[in-house]
Structure 1
Amino acid sequence: MADYPEFIPQSGACLVSKNVVTGAGRVRWMVREESKAPADNGWRIFSDVDSSEYLADSGNLQIVSFNQACAIEPALIGIYDFPVGTDLQLVRDASGLHIIDATTGREIPSENFYVAEAMRAAAPPKS
């Protein structure tokens, strides 16, 4: 039994920097690639302390349930259904948490975020 909630049923697995998993760093970059296996949802999650050299060593990446990644950083729930090719940055500042499209530099509007089926009845309708 997992020690984290199932935020998104059957959300699959993703590749995550061990710095995120261990808490050495916080989620900063999220990239969605083509799936490499049936259980792979394509998300690649990296931390604010990862370097190119660190990420070049595949031993520094770990396959985890997407729900486990969401338990570490709940903001990931909102990006679940973004398409392959998505490149995002999670920015924390004095005004809060922002998810930025790394290719355009624009903040993703909250109405674009995924809302889990169980939460849809409680969520305001998308405009």
Structure 2
Amino acid sequence: MTSYPEFIPKAGACLVSKNALSRAGRVRWMVRVPSQAPVDNGWRIFSHIDSQEYLADTSNLQMTDFNAVCALEPALIGIYDFPVGSDLQIVDEGQGIRIVETATGREIPRENFYVPPTMRADG
């Protein structure tokens, strides 16, 4: 994963499980926490095969450009500007990808998703 588009200008970096980065597992869970550094956008991205034990080992996590992770899973573009405290998951039951709140199971409406400036009707 050396080359990827800049979907979101100045998107920053996020912490990602190596299972998701290597595609051993599909991106499944997304949690936004307060930023830990200026470049950190606060997103934590995990795969469907990550266990608590796996995630407890910090060597299984890597800071990565958010756009690089969006190249792996384009659904992440839409959640970019969701607030700190967001706890979301990707659900794919064969009828297309949906983003839902983990705690409630409520589907996030499409109109709530971030649209990059280059993809906006007014831009």
Global fold match (TM > 0.5): yes
Pairs aligned (count): 122
State the superposition RMSD in angstroms.
1.2
Using the TM superposition, give the Cα deviation of residue 98 of structure 1 relative to its aligned residue in structure 2, in angstroms: 0.6
Using the TM superposition, give the Cα deviation of residue 105 of structure 1 relative to its aligned residue in structure 2, in angstroms: 1.1
The one-letter amino acid of 1:67's match is N
Identity of aligned residues (%): 66
Answer yes or no: is 1:99 the counterpart of 2:99: yes
**Structure 2 alignment gaps of length 5 or more:** none
Deviations 1:33-74 (A, max 9, x none): 000000000000000000000000000001000000100100
Using the TM superposition, give the Cα deviation of residue 122 of structure 1 relative to its aligned residue in structure 2, in angstroms: 7.2
**Structure 1 stretches (4+) deviating beyond 4 angstroms?**
none
The secondary structure found in structure 2 opposite 1:15 is strand
Answer yes or no: is 1:110 the counterpart of 2:110: yes
Answer yes or no: is 1:56 the counterpart of 2:59: no
Using the TM superposition, give the Cα deviation of residue 121 of structure 1 relative to its aligned residue in structure 2, in angstroms: 1.4
1:34 match: 34
TM-score by length of 2: 0.96
TM-score by length of 1: 0.93
The one-letter amino acid of 1:72's match is L
The one-letter amino acid of 1:95's match is Q
